[in-house]
Chain A
Amino acid sequence: MDAAIEVERVSKRFGTTLALDDVSLEVESGRVLALLGPNGAGKTTLVRILTTLLQPDSGRARVAGFDVGKDAKTIRTMIGLAGQYATVDELLTGRENLELVGLLYHLEKIEYQRRASEALERMTLVDAGDKPVKTYSGGMRRRLDLAASLIGRPPILFLDEPTTGLDPRTRNDLWALIEELVTEGTTVLLTTQIMEEAEHLANQIVVMDNGRVVAHGTADELKDHLGGNVLEVRVTHSSDLEKATTLVTDLASTRPRLDPDLKQISFPIEGGASVLIAVGRALEDGGIEIEDLGIRRPSLDDVFLSLTGHAAVSQSESSSSSAGVAHD
Chain B
Amino acid sequence: MTDVAIQRPPVSAAPLAFGLAVRDMKGITKRNLLRIVRTPQLLFMTLVQPTIILLLFRYVLGGAIHVPGVNYVDYVIPGIFLEAVLIGGMTTALALATDLQAGMIDRFRSLPMTRSAFLVGRTLADLCRAVLALLFIICLGLLVGFRFHNSLGACLGGTALIIGFGYAFTWVYAAIGLAVKDPQTAQMTSILPMFILFFASSALVPVATMPGWLQPFAHNQPASVTIDAVRALFEGGPVYHDLWQAVIWCIGMFVVFLAISLNLYRKVTV
Contact = CB atoms under 8 A, between A and B. Distances in A.
| Chain A partners chain B | yes
Interface in B2-49: 20, 23-24, 27-28, 30-31, 34-35, 38-39
A53 B269 contact: yes
Interface residues of B, number: 23
A23 B113 CA distance: 29
Given A92-B34, A132-B38, A53 B27 contact: no
B107 interface: yes
Interface stretch (B98-106, B126-134, B162-170): B98-106
A48 interface: yes
A76 B112 contact: yes
A105 B112 contact: yes
B24 A104 contact: yes
Given A91-B39, A100-B27, A51 B110 contact: yes
Contacts of A52: 109-110
A73 interface: yes
Contacts of B30: 100
A133 to B, nearest CB: 11
A53 B35 contact: no
B110 A92 contact: no
B5 to A, nearest CB: 15
Nearest to A158: B110
Contact of B111 (A83, A96, A104): A104
B217 interface: no
A148 interface: yes
Interface in B77-121: 102-104, 106-113
Which secondary structure characterizes the binding site on chain A?
loop
A205 B69 CA distance: 80
Interface string B30-72: 1100110011000000000000000000000000000000000
Contacts of A79: 110
Contacts of A293: none
Nearest to A96: B34
Interface string A74-86: 0011010101110
A87 interface: yes
Given A101-B111, A103-B23, A104-B24, A85 B31 contact: no
A79 B103 CA distance: 17
B24 A81 contact: no
A89 interface: yes
B111 A105 contact: yes
B269 A48 contact: yes
A104 B107 CA distance: 11
Nearest to B269: A54
Contact of B107 (A81, A91, A106): A81
Interface in A144-197: 148, 152
A51 B113 CA distance: 14
Nearest to B104: A87
Interface centre among B103, B106, B107 (most CB of A within 10 A): B107
B102 A73 contact: no
Contact of A89 (B31, B106, B110): B31
B112 A77 contact: yes
A83 B103 contact: yes
Contact of A106 (B20, B35, B102): B20
A100 B103 contact: no
Contacts of B113: 104-106
Contacts of B35: 89, 91-92
Given A92-B34, A100-B27, A53 B106 contact: yes
Interface in B244-270: 269
B38 A76 contact: no
B27 A87 contact: no
Contacts of A85: 102-103
Nearest to A99: B27
Contacts of B107: 81, 83, 87, 101, 148
Given A76-B111, A81-B110, A132-B38, 5 more contacts: A48-B106, A91-B39, A96-B34, A104-B111, A104-B112
- Counting from the closest, the 3 A-B pairs by CB-CB distance are A104-B113, A87-B103, A76-B112
13 contacts: A48-B106, A52-B109, A53-B106, A54-B269, A76-B112, A83-B103, A91-B34, A91-B38, A101-B111, A103-B27, A104-B112, A104-B113, A152-B112
Interface of B: 20, 23-24, 27-28, 30-31, 34-35, 38-39, 102-104, 106-113, 269
